[in-house]
Chain A
């Protein structure tokens, strides 16, 4: 039977097991939307902005491990979704984005709402396709899902001209994919893995440095087994949070620019770094030339270009984290003898010393302004039994959540690591909620970043996605203010948000629930009330505006040289400043 391009599109999505797509219509994709409208088992979540659609698909993908799918129209629809594609590319999120295109006869004519979608998306997708012939549509969609989800995952764009979505052809869905230029390596080189095992046996001060690759390859179980068997401490990257249980005694927490003191000291003084699915980002390494100067480096990564890109690697292993760790465990099982706990004792003694010297800390006065860290800590304690999914935007609140919200399992953490996209958190949380309707999904946001995609509250209300948004409201672009405090002599150039809206009223305007915690005493009750409702909620928490996020390695600094607290002159400046950052305090805040 002959099908139109639009019908083929829908058949293909079904064969790929897609249940939900995030979409916004437009002229050239109307035929596809018309077909989607007639489907019962394919849910379309209509977003208010294409960037929202892209981030929702990312949240869906990060929480489920499957490809997220979004559909946008030509021209402005495509340019709007670009940020989400770039974000997904940096964080290796499997995503398939379908864009509409003007009819093939008009391509290149500067037609209405035409954009060079292939050219625009090339640098921020893993691959992209322009389907010029309806006969190629099914194969292209199959290949798109295959490329997005295999190897190092990433976003793939499929550009479908209007006439292709209308044309008819015989439908056959290919059963397999063969692309001669694309053959990801899954099994690691056995000889290299053996070398790695030997290095691990010899090392006195080894450290596991794990990233998002462990989450994507589903290697958390193997990682835990390896870590416990060898008694090696575990540092996690921002993307790797949840790959290893946050409360495990061997967890050092996050490393890098705002990582814990012990995580950074441990990697700096280690003699063997075992990097698993992590890519030595500059926010982790600081000054590359002085990064872990005493260590040999083992690097396990499915992407050969990640290896030796930033740092010298002694034992490179190209392969899937899960497969390589399994193999490594097999070899170590045969060779590990003696009590590893005893063997590693001097190293652990040193680490415990570091942990006790500078634990993560803040001071919450019972009657004082609410400290942002306290909000995260209470949120964690009140929700940890419910195994929540947590998303964040980008900024101070993101770093505090990374520090204080100790995730126990993978696929619970949605954050924009590589691109650092403000406005990511709220739509991403909605994407995860669309995948898991009955789970608790939290979004920690800043008052600055949440305003970048606040319009999606309408989507949350209409599509019944009961995401709980907790806004740490300091009326600043907080991370910008922190840098201005530390490196620009406290000149707050364009970081004070004078006209922050009343988020409670704003939530109510959209038909969601708005709550506010005005004091430390109210905080728990408000958070509990938010968690208990089955509607989208915005919790506005006015916080102490001057709180800075520590430890901090200044950009280009060295991992063992962390700033641990505000310098004295800054502390002096902050003393006596009103706490909440409300507009009434504006003059005092800006002149302090």
Chain B
């Protein structure tokens, strides 16, 4: 099963290869991985998409925790989460296709971020299914180049009912 693991690490050189080396050395698969610094610039946040049965994912989480540069590991599948991916898609556009390309972009709330007489570069953000869908629709026009960021994900904040207020609200 697919799991999204959020890993907070020290923002130091070599940490990415430690994490990647852990996966390759133990035969775990990485489907996508994205890294960037957090609000605190001494730390980075990694989003790793991997897959495996419960036993494998448990080992992945434990082994990540064991790395000295790893500060925190959260298996996001254990709660609700929001995940997004961005793709930049460069499509060939013959004169008769240009309107069609724009229409498709519009349907997916995608933006055209670059344009030449023969191409559009379309930026789209969403969950992987949405990205797959727009790619499928643009494919007949001819995709010249495609780049995807890999997923980033964040846990949904649990909504805690306020303790005293709901009663008041109920009375009103």
Contact = CB atoms under 8 A, between A and B. Distances in A.
Interface of A: 118-119, 122-123, 126-127, 130, 147, 179-182, 303-305, 308-309
Contacts of A119: 17
A262 B41 CA distance: 58
Nearest to A118: B14
A373 to B, nearest CB: 39
A231 B65 CA distance: 37
Contacts of A181: 9-10, 67-71
A127 B55 CA distance: 25
Contact of A179 (B21, B55, B62, B68): B68
Interface in B6-61: 9-10, 14, 17-18, 21, 25, 55, 58-59
A127 B15 CA distance: 11
26 contacts: A118-B14, A119-B17, A122-B17, A122-B18, A122-B21, A123-B21, A126-B68, A127-B68, A130-B14, A179-B68, A180-B10, A180-B71, A181-B10, A181-B67, A181-B68, A181-B69, A181-B70, A181-B71, A182-B68, A303-B66, A304-B62, A305-B59, A305-B62, A308-B55, A308-B59, A309-B59
Given A123-B21, A305-B62, 5 more contacts: A122-B18, A122-B21, A123-B25, A130-B14, A182-B68
Contacts of A127: 68
Contacts of A126: 68
Interface of B is mostly: helix
Contacts of B62: 304-305
Contacts of A180: 10, 71
A86 to B, nearest CB: 12
Interface of B: 9-10, 14, 17-18, 21, 25, 55, 58-59, 62-63, 65-71
B17 A147 contact: no
A308 B58 contact: yes
B72 to A, nearest CB: 8
A305 B21 contact: no
Most chain B beta carbons < 10 A, residue from A180, A182, A308: A180
A305 B10 CA distance: 21
A304 B55 CA distance: 13
Nearest to A309: B59
Contacts of A182: 68
B71 A305 contact: no
Contact of A304 (B18, B66, B71): B66
B91 to A, nearest CB: 40
A303 B68 CA distance: 13
Contacts of B68: 126-127, 147, 179, 181-182
Contacts of A123: 21, 25
B59 to A, nearest CB: 6
Nearest to A130: B14
A147 B69 CA distance: 12
Most chain B beta carbons < 10 A, residue from A118, A126, A181: A181
Contacts of A122: 14, 17-18, 21
A126 B18 CA distance: 11
Contacts of A308: 55, 58-59
A147 B67 CA distance: 11
A118 B69 CA distance: 14
Contacts of B58: 308
A451 B17 CA distance: 37
A127 B63 CA distance: 14
A305 B17 contact: no
B14 A305 contact: no
A245 B25 CA distance: 37
A309 B62 CA distance: 10
A126 B22 CA distance: 12
A90 to B, nearest CB: 13
Nearest to B25: A123
Nearest to A308: B58
A465 B151 CA distance: 59
A130 B17 CA distance: 14
Contact of B63 (A118, A130, A179, A305): A305
A85 to B, nearest CB: 15
B15 to A, nearest CB: 10
B42 to A, nearest CB: 9
A303 B59 CA distance: 12
A308 B62 CA distance: 10
B19 to A, nearest CB: 11
Nearest to A127: B68
B52 to A, nearest CB: 14
B40 to A, nearest CB: 11
A485 to B, nearest CB: 33
A122 B68 CA distance: 12
Contacts of A309: 59
Contacts of B9: 181
Nearest to B22: A123
A330 B21 CA distance: 42
A143 to B, nearest CB: 9
B65 A304 contact: yes
